[in-house]
Chain A
Amino acid sequence: GENVEQHPSTLSVQEGDSAVIKCTYSDSASNYFPWYKQELGKGPQLIIDIRSNVGEKKDQRIAVTLNKTAKHFSLHITETQPEDSAVYFCAASRNTGFQKLVFGTGTRLLVSP
């Protein structure tokens, strides 16, 4: 089955810096890769996703890149703000049938003012 690894487990940056979180997956048939932000005591919130037919997607300060050959994808946050502090999860799935997401282990991002 699919296995998703995520690094780093914790990431501390200064406000205004960029943050990069990386994930690798094992199932070459996976073709849907969402990223979720989870604040303490809340459910995950979808922040961006990418499908295997594109290599990069951007939404304001957030971007995701996908390298299908290497089976890895990354989340890039530019101009970080304290409110970006949260736990970020990557996930992967085959976009067929019942979409079962396999989650990474999470990255705790701390943005210091």
Chain B
Amino acid sequence: GAVVSQHPSRVICKSGTSVKIECRSLDFQATTMFWYRQFPKKSLMLMATSNEGSKATYEQGVEKDKFLINHASLTLSTLTVTSAHPEDSSFYICSAQLAYTTDTQYFGPGTRLTVL
């Protein structure tokens, strides 16, 4: 139980294009999902907290117009990297929290974004 999927697992795009990453909770409902960014050999950095049906809350220093987050249902959140540039290349990981609890976060497998 508590499986979280991400799609795509890997994406390569040209500079200036937009990329959408999906995060799904497969066997549970999640009122809250989180998006993280991880650089090589570094820890996870929280980008934003996504709540179903409301606007995401972004961490300080994260551009909300650059990283668009939508949490349209209890099982799906999307992160869109708009007008991607090489410095946006990173490992993006989502996590989901069981609905109506403040309990454990379950992480997805991550998406490797490479911007050329």
Contact A45 B107 (CB under 8 A): yes
Interface residues of A in 76-104 (CB under 8 A from B): 89, 95-101, 103-104
Q: Which residues of B contact A97 (CB under 8 A)?
A: 102
Q: Is A113 an interface residue (CB 8 A)?
A: no
Q: Is B27 an interface residue (CB 8 A)?
A: no
Contacts known (A96-B102, A97-B102); A43 close to B108, Cβ less than 8 A: yes
Q: Is B78 an interface residue (CB 8 A)?
A: no
Inter-chain residue pair count (beta carbon < 8 A): 53
Most B CB contacts (10 A, CB to CB) among A43, A46, A100, A105 go to: A43
| A45 to B4 Cα, complex, angstroms | 11
Q: Which residues of A contact B102 (CB under 8 A)?
A: 95-99
Give A20 Cβ to nearest chain B Cβ, in Å. 19
Interface of A is mostly: loop
| A55 to B108 Cα, complex, angstroms | 29
Comparing B41-49, B63-71, B79-87, the segment that makes contact with chain A is B41-49
Give A55 Cβ to nearest chain B Cβ, in Å. 20
Contact of A105 among B43, B51, B105 (CB under 8 A): B43
Contact B32 A101 (CB under 8 A): no
Give B6 Cβ to nearest chain A Cβ, in Å. 8
**16 A-B contacts (beta carbon < 8 Å):** A34-B105, A41-B110, A43-B110, A89-B43, A95-B102, A96-B102, A97-B102, A99-B32, A99-B97, A99-B102, A99-B103, A100-B46, A104-B43, A105-B43, A106-B41, A106-B43
